């Protein structure tokens, strides 16, 4: 799978540079930091679409949720390694460019400002990326012993909400947060995040229970403890992010209603 690893190492940074160049031509007044943010969000959306399509193919192909295999389940995990590595660096790069816009800063202060900004604003996302690279990917490639491609596919489908999240951030960058498009997109964020990142876990337990004739509420007691721990560890940050999304949605639609009344 080294060719898949190499392909990802070329594809994602190359797509980022292309997106940033297109942003420079389309929006010449934007700073390098703004163009880099758009580039990272575009690449994240492309990766999410690829992951979702791959996940749907895997899920629809695996009748036996425990034993059926599909080559994409392993291949895409290899493809995910360079993406997570690239995206971590790209997030830091955006903070670097923000710091670079500050005047009268020497190299050491510039680095420290970029690191501080990165840790403050993207720390949870950084931890999320590191957990995927150091824990989830090794488990998916080696420790699951070829079992559970169906569940790997399900986790890939969780990326469906990412393009809508990215579009929302780009609209805010363009100062279009009060438009109808932003409000409609916010609804899609809530829907896709809830379906594909929250309800996904009960669905996986339901699929396992249906195959083995086990009621949903008994499934956690029929699978290994480490599987339940892993699922809980993945679900916890999703619940946190979903709460944040709900709060933003309440503010967004409350402001819209206030303006209508006014």
> Taking all residues of the chain, what is their mean pLDDT, rounded to a whole number?
90
Residue 74 is predicted with a pLDDT of 95
Residue 105 is predicted with a pLDDT of 59
Look at the pTM and tell me if it is higher than 0.75: yes
Contact 100, 110 (CB under 8 A): yes
Residues ≥6 apart with Cβ < 8 Å to 44: 87, 162, 163, 166
Contact 211, 221 (CB under 8 A): no
Question: Does the structure show a pLDDT above 80 at 162?
Answer: yes
* pLDDT digits 0-9 by tens, 94-132: 888 887 777 655 666 777 777 887 888 888 888 889 999
pLDDT band at 249 (very low <50, low <70, confident <90, very high): confident
Contact 62, 208 (CB under 8 A): no
- Nearest-CA neighbor of 169 among 94, 114, 110? 94
* pLDDT digits 0-9 by tens, 129-153: 999 999 999 999 998 888 999 999 9
What are the sequence ranges of the domains in the chain?
2-261
* pLDDT digits 0-9 by tens, 24-66: 998 888 889 899 999 999 999 999 999 999 999 999 999 999 9
Residue 185 is predicted with a pLDDT of 94
* pLDDT digits 0-9 by tens, 181-224: 998 999 999 999 999 999 999 999 999 999 999 999 999 999 99
Alpha helix ranges (H) inside 132-224? 137-138, 149-157, 162-173, 180-193, 200-212
Residues ≥6 apart with Cβ < 8 Å to 255: none
Of 124 and 83, the one with more pLDDT: 83
CA-to-CA distance for 154 and 164, rounded, in angstroms?
Answer: 19
Question: Does the structure show a pLDDT above 80 at 252?
Answer: no
* R_g (Cα) of the chain, nearest Å: 20
Give just the sign of the alpha carbon dihedral 261, 192, 222, 137.
negative
DSSP secondary structure, 82-93, as one string? HHHHHHHHHHHH
Compute φ and ψ for 177, nearest 5 degrees: -70, -10
pLDDT band at 248 (very low <50, low <70, confident <90, very high): confident
Question: Does the structure show a pLDDT above 60 at 262?
Answer: no
CA-to-CA distance for 92 and 120, rounded, in angstroms?
Answer: 11
Q: Mean pLDDT throughout 79-105?
A: 85
Proportion of the chain above pLDDT 70, given as a percent: 94
């Amino acid at each position: 799978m080294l060719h898949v690893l190499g392909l990802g190492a070329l594809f994602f940074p190359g797509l980022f540079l292309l997106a940033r160049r297109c942003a420079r031509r389309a929006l010449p007044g934007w700073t390098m930091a703004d163009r880099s943010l758009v580039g990272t969000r575009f690449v994240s959306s492309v990766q999410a679409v690829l992951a979702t399509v791959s996940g749907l193919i895997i899920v629809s192909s695996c009748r036996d949720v425990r034993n059926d295999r599909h080559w994409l389940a392993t291949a895409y995990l290899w493809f995910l390694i360079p993406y997570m590595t690239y995206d971590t660096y790209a997030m830091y790069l955006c903070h670097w460019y923000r710091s670079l816009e500050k005047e009268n800063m020497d190299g050491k202060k510039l680095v420290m400002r970029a690191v501080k900004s990165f840790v403050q604003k993207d720390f949870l996302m950084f931890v999320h990326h590191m957990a995927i690279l150091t824990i989830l990917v090794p488990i998916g490639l080696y420790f699951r012993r070829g079992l559970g491609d169906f569940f790997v596919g399900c986790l890939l489908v969780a990326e469906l909400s990412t393009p809508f999240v990215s579009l929302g951030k780009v609209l805010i960058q363009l100062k279009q947060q009060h438009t109808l498009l932003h409000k409609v997109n916010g609804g899609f964020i809530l829907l896709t995040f809830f379906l594909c990142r929250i309800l996904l876990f009960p669905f996986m337990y339901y699929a396992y229970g249906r195959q083995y004739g086990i009621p949903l509420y008994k499934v956690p007691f029929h699978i290994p403890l480490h599987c339940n721990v892993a699922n809980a560890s993945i679900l916890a940050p999703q619940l946190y992010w979903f709460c944040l999304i709900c709060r933003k949605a309440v503010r967004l639609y409350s402001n819209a209603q206030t303006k209508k009344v006014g």
